[in-house]
Amino acid sequence: MNVFFETNKGLMRENNEDSFIVEEYDTYCLYAVADGMGGHKAGEVASSIVIEEMSKYFISSAEKKDFKPPLFIAESVRMSNDKIRQEAFKNEECLGMGTTLAMAVIDKAQNLIYIGNIGDSRVYLLRNKELKQITSDHTYVNELMKEGKISPEEAKTHPKRNVITRALGSEEVVHADIFELELLDNDILLLCTDGLTTHVSDDRILEIINEYGPSQSVKKLIQQANDNGGTDNITIIIVDNMIRGETDDR
């Protein structure tokens, strides 16, 4: 299993409010991206809190024999949400800060993937040359699309397309959507903040990964997002479960 990752502040932002984690312990792997929001660098604080809390809790939890990834996701979200809100109340400049979260825990022994998300950062699965978004965006326009009130094309230019309906720090209790998938040979996972998906379509993401392979695609995707506007921070993690001896022709 190979992992490739990078974060970039984009072309329009003064600082990078994204945070990410790539962590491995025994047979478990943890990957996560977080996109902070809030004034005066408060978003940067929020996203770093969730990543730091999750990293510490992952190591202490994964070493236990009864480690259960879904419970880890739920509990780490609860702990991170509490910590973000505590920091916001202590520091007036951080009041109202929050962050998205998209994460994956891989159990290599059982060949299972557990995915959690809050907000509009995403997890995709590339399998058999098809790219599928696993997570569902917690956004106002996505809710409108689910209700059939607007089309996907209308969503792209909707004036409220950036309104998030669920974020860590926004409420006293925040729940993540949790998904369980089987991990197959040659699967590719893509975790990303919306700095990528705002400017690069799913079809183009698939084209780039198929053309350049996982090892080069992170830089190519960031370059494409910046070429198309670069209005936000961009963070990408690509996890490649290519088995040895296979040629990378995806």
| Reported pTM | 0.93
**What is the distance between the alpha carbons of residues 66 and 73, in angstroms, rounded to a whole number?**
14
What is the DSSP annotation of 171-184? SSS---EEEEEE--
Among 44, 170, 54, residue whose Cα is nearest residue 102: 54
Conformation bin of residue 154: beta by default, left when phi > 0, alpha when psi is -120 to 50 = alpha
In this prediction, residue 119 carries a pLDDT of 96
**What is the distance between the alpha carbons of residues 153 and 25, in angstroms, rounded to a whole number?**
42
| Average pLDDT rounded to a whole number, residues 199-220 | 96
Strand partners, 20: 33
Among 3, 1, 55, 6, residue whose Cα is nearest residue 27: 1
In this prediction, residue 250 carries a pLDDT of 45
Instruction: List the chain domain ranges.
Output: 2-240
| Average pLDDT rounded to a whole number, residues 203-213 | 97
**Quick check: helix, strand or coil at residue 24?**
strand
In this prediction, residue 40 carries a pLDDT of 65
| Average pLDDT rounded to a whole number, residues 207-221 | 96
% the chain with pLDDT above 90: 80
**What is the distance between the alpha carbons of residues 72 and 177, in angstroms, rounded to a whole number?**
13
Q: Assign a CATH topology to domain 2-240.
A: Phosphatase 2c; domain 1 (3.60.40)
**Tokens, residue 155:** 């969503």
Measured between alpha carbons, how far is residue 49 from residues 35, 96, 240 in Å?
11, 14, 27
- Which single residue is written with the structure tokens 């809100």? 85
User: Within 10 Å of residue 115's Cβ, how many Cβ atoms?
Assistant: 25
pLDDT digits (tens, 9 = 90+) for 139-183: 998 888 888 888 887 877 787 777 899 999 999 999 999 999 999
